Homo-oligomer: A and B are copies of this chain.
Amino acid sequence: MNDMDDTETHPVHRRDGLALWRQIAGRIQSDIASGATKPGAKLPTEAQLSAHFGVNRHTVRRALEELSRDGLVRVEQGRGTFVAEDVLEYTVEARTRFSEWIRKHNKEPSGIVRQLREIQADRRVADGLGIRGGGRVVMLERLGFADDRPVCLSRHYFPASRLKGIFQALQSTSRITDALLAVGVEDYLRLQTRVTARLPTQTEAELLRTARNRPVLIAENVNVDRDGAIIEFASGCYPTPRVQIVFEP
């Protein structure tokens, strides 16, 4: 939307099986995701957009309705359509704390613990934690909210032998930082983050309140304490386009 001009049309592909309104919704979404149109900015009016894409106004409205339901834009009668401010940009930094991330967007963080168990590490978790397969790990599954929107379904794995008492610590507090503090980890940093994307399982889609055909971002990361010892391996699942992951080196 950064190269708007009302005279020239930016044609969409007709007869290719993908509905025009879906194409238009996708383009606007891309512009938001890429940062071309920033949160809070006003989109062109429906009339302008319909001229822009060379379609009827109703077709544009169908696209905007979809984006509005996804929470990507906010439509105000008599004023216009605006990019929603509450698209959470998840900046991957060395020091990443859930509550600080959410609060940076002026939202209230909260979370519910869905599972807390001591299990045997499978291959992937063992690799991440740098322990041998089958070792005991404490697993915490947690659903994180920003205000009342679910933004993150994460699983955290802690090496049980290295962090004695972590299970009890996690039982008494829902903040991971506090639990780690209770077992003597005063600070921790992110060593590595790997991001992929896939379609959500049904459970993930329900918990994160996202559509099953909309991909989720998977961020796996390894956290180390001040001595460089690995103390956590975590795998988070984030709904797009509500959450966007940004690397800032």
The chain A residues found within 8 Å of chain B, CB to CB, are: 69, 110, 112, 114, 145, 147-149, 202-203, 205-207, 209, 212
CA distance A112 to B110 in the complex (A): 16
Which one of B110, B145, B206 contacts A149 once the chains associate, using CB atoms below 8 Å?
A: B206
> Closest residue to A201 on the B side, CB-wise?
B148
Cβ distance A147 to chain B, nearest Cβ, rounded Å: 8
Max chain B Cβ within 10 angstroms of own Cβ: one of A145, A147, A206: A206
The residues of B that contact A206 with a CB separation of less than 8 Å are 110, 145, 148-149, 209
Structural contact, B212 and A148, CB atoms closer than 8 A = yes
Which one of B69, B112, B149, B207 contacts A148 once the chains associate, using CB atoms below 8 Å?
A: B207
Cβ distance A87 to chain B, nearest Cβ, rounded Å: 16
Structural contact, A202 and B69, CB atoms closer than 8 A = no
Q: How many copies does the complex hold?
A: 2
Structural contact, A205 and B148, CB atoms closer than 8 A = yes
> What are the 7 A-B residue pairs with the smallest beta carbon separation, nearest first?
A148-B206, A148-B203, A148-B202, A148-B205, A209-B209, A145-B206, A149-B206
> Closest residue to A143 on the B side, CB-wise?
B112
> Closest residue to A108 on the B side, CB-wise?
B202
The residues of B that contact A112 with a CB separation of less than 8 Å are 112, 114, 207
CA distance A169 to B53 in the complex (A): 61
Which one of B69, B145, B205 contacts A69 once the chains associate, using CB atoms below 8 Å?
A: B69
CB pairs A–B below 8 angstroms (16 shown): A69-B69, A110-B206, A112-B112, A112-B114, A112-B207, A145-B206, A147-B202, A148-B202, A148-B203, A148-B205, A148-B206, A148-B207, A148-B212, A149-B206, A206-B209, A209-B209
The residues of B that contact A209 with a CB separation of less than 8 Å are 206, 209
8 new A-B contacts at CB < 8 Å, known A148-B206, A148-B212: A69-B69, A110-B206, A112-B112, A112-B114, A145-B206, A147-B202, A148-B205, A209-B209
